[in-house]
Amino acid sequence: MKLIVATVQDQDSDYVVSKLTEKGYRVTQVGSTGGFLRQGNTTLLVGVDDRLVEPVIELLTASSQRRMRYMPMATGTTPNGMTLYNYVEVEVGGATIFVLDVEHFEQI
């Protein structure tokens, strides 16, 4: 058995979760925050048999999108002390996926 840990963007999470549950996968949705953008995202935990890892990754690939985000970056200050910002473009994935071996699984 494997545990798929997938971080997706908040905008995609409902759609991804509905696609997973439609196909009969069990999923836990955890609210998370990316360390770089400090914006909310969603981390999904999906426990599956080894043979189902690829189909789940295909589903995640098909149902989550890459998007551009804009991150404020301080570039200096005006003579009267106001901070000046520029926005840098950051491309945020689709999904960031880890696949872990499950040593033990039980439901009580």
- Residue numbers of the site for ligand 2BA (CB under 6 A)? 7, 34-37, 41, 90-93, 96
Q: Which residues pair with 101 in a beta bridge?
A: 2
Distance CA(70)–CA(59), nearest Å, equals 27
Cβ at position 103, least distance to ligand 2BA in Å: 21
Strand pairing of 67-77 and 40-48? unpaired
* Spatial CA neighbour of 14 closest among 68, 69, 64: 64
Specify the residue, 5 or 53, whose C-beta has the smaller distance to ligand 2BA: 5
Cβ at position 97, least distance to ligand 2BA in Å: 9
Specify the residue, 2 or 12, whose C-beta has the smaller distance to ligand 2BA: 12
